[in-house]
Amino acid sequence: MGSISDKASGKANEVAGKARQFAGKAVGNKEMQAKGAAQEGKGKVQVAKGKTKEAVKGVVDRT
């Protein structure tokens, strides 16, 4: 994946994870909340990966 697709997928996972956590909290489902938190975390990692790829590409382009 490229940096843009990593960041886009990451943001989508963050939003979906937050929604899942909210839904789990609303219905009192701890498992759903935990899965939402995990999905949100996965999204944050994907966004960071995309930003890292972008930074590395910038350094390589300058050399």
Write the pLDDT tens digit of every residue in 12-56: 999 999 999 999 999 999 999 999 999 999 999 999 999 999 999
The angle at the Cα of 50, spanning 58 to 37, to the nearest 5 degrees, equals 155
Number of structural domains in the chain? 1
pTM for the structure as a whole: 0.86
Question: Can you give the residue range of the structural domain that contains 53?
Answer: 4-62
Contact 17, 39 (CB under 8 A): yes
In sequence order, which ranges of the chain are alpha helices (DSSP H)?
Answer: 3-27, 30-62
